[in-house]
A and B are shown apart, each in its own frame.
Chain A
């Protein structure tokens, strides 16, 4: 089955700096890659996603890039703010899996220091 690895597990940045989280996946057939943000005591919230026919997608201060050849994708947060502090998860979906199953990475705890 699909396996997703996420790095780093923790990331501390100064407010205003950029943060980058990287994920690799194992199944070359995977075609959908969402990113979720989980704030303390809440459920994961979809913040951005990318499909395999696109190399990059941007939404205000967040962007995601996908390298299908290398089987990795990254989340970029620019001009970080304290409210960006949360746990971020990447995920991948492969058509080989039944029922829109998402495989999640292990999460990255991001701390933005004011």
Chain B
């Protein structure tokens, strides 16, 4: 029943590894987002896709690469993980015609050791 789902919920990995986080929404939305929430709870957008087209790309290291196979899925791949990548990553989605209303997934807590 979850409208926006993410896997995994927790991810613990070592520095230098490559990992992926998956996101799926069943709301019929056409726009999806990735946000990063740091230890101080600050929420910042990283990427946004509309119908598989990248429309927002904030100042994010090239090690982060989003991939959208279709409008219901937006995955985040991270290469060469660093300690500073530890955070909670949230996926969100919206309908472009009602694009203001974004709905968030439960988050993926990434810990890099």
Assuming the contacts A43-B104, A93-B100, asked whether A99 and B31 have C-beta atoms less than 8 A apart, the reply is yes
A-B pairs with beta carbons under 8 A, tally = 60
Assuming the contacts A44-B104, A45-B104, A46-B101, asked whether A100 and B43 have C-beta atoms less than 8 A apart, the reply is no
Q: Could you tell me if B41 and A100 are in contact, using CB atoms closer than 8 angstroms?
A: no
B interface, size bucket: 20 to 34
Q: Could you tell me if A43 and B101 are in contact, using CB atoms closer than 8 angstroms?
A: no
Interface check B77, CB cutoff 8 A: no
Interface of A is mostly: strand
Q: Could you tell me if A42 and B107 are in contact, using CB atoms closer than 8 angstroms?
A: yes
Q: Could you tell me if B56 and A101 are in contact, using CB atoms closer than 8 angstroms?
A: yes
B residues with CB within 8 A of A: 4, 31, 40-45, 48, 50, 55-56, 90, 92, 94, 96, 99-107
